[in-house]
Amino acid sequence: MKSKIFPLFLLIFFLIIFFIFFKSLQNSNIYVPKSNIDKDIPNFNVKKAGKNNIINSDEIFKNDKFYLMNIWSSWCIPCRDEHPFLMILSRNKNIEIIGLNYKDNSENAKIFLKEMGNPYNIILLDNEGTISIEWGAYGVPETFLIYNKKIIKKIVGPIDEKVLLEIEELI
């Protein structure tokens, strides 16, 4: 009797384990960040590129104006892919593009902008990556469309032609 119970117990145990693994494989493990849409922009102090003084975000962002906050780095390959679209947006007088240079070497950033062009009205430095975290970013490039000091659209990944048209439609 004892010899028949053990294999049955073992079979039930493996069926339960199989069922647990099977169910867990059906769950999506894709990380989707919380949306920051229609939230106030974070208040922060930051150093401008090429300057030693620290400015507050209230001095940068004004009401009744569109801003595009682009988090980028010279070492970021997708940032190179999106750069031509930022250059197109920089010609639009209805929007001001703010660049947040993320964990980058300042010389490499200068070379990047000299080579690719500078679409930014202001370049801010985020050497530690803390400002990007406050914005809810978890990588580069990420872009935030801002109006009246509120985030109205978050773009994860590089801006492409489709996103460019969405932004132009919103502004």
Instruction: Answer whether residue 31 shows pLDDT above 80.
Output: no
Q: Phi first, then psi: what are they for 71, rounded to 5°?
A: -95, 120
Mean pLDDT of the chain: 87
Tell which wins on pLDDT, 27 or 63: 63
pLDDT per residue as tens digits for the range 59-103: 899 888 999 999 999 999 999 999 999 999 999 999 999 999 999
**Measured on CA atoms in the order 56, 86, 93, 95, is the torsion positive or negative?**
negative
Name the H helices within the chain: 2-26, 57-60, 77-90, 106-116, 130-135, 161-170
Residue 95's DSSP bridge partners are 66
Calculate the alpha carbon distances from 158 to 9, 29, 89, 99, 128 in Å.
54, 22, 14, 14, 22
pLDDT given at position 10: 82
In this predicted structure, which of 28-42, 49-63, 148-162 has the lowest mean pLDDT?
A: 28-42
170 confidence band (pLDDT: 50, 70, 90)? confident
> From the centroid of its chain, how far is CA 56?
21
- How confident is the model at residue 90, as a pLDDT? 94
Q: Which of 106, 50, 74, 82 is nearest to 157 (CA)?
A: 82
Domain boundaries, the chain: 39-170
Percent of the chain with pLDDT over 90: 51
pTM for the structure as a whole: 0.75
Mean pLDDT is lowest, of 23-32, 101-110, 143-152, 161-170, for 23-32
Of 25, 27, 11, 137, the residue nearest 76 (C-alpha): 137
> Count of CB atoms within 10 A of residue 16's CB?
10
Residue 143 in tokens: 């872009």
CATH of domain 39-170: 3.40.30.10
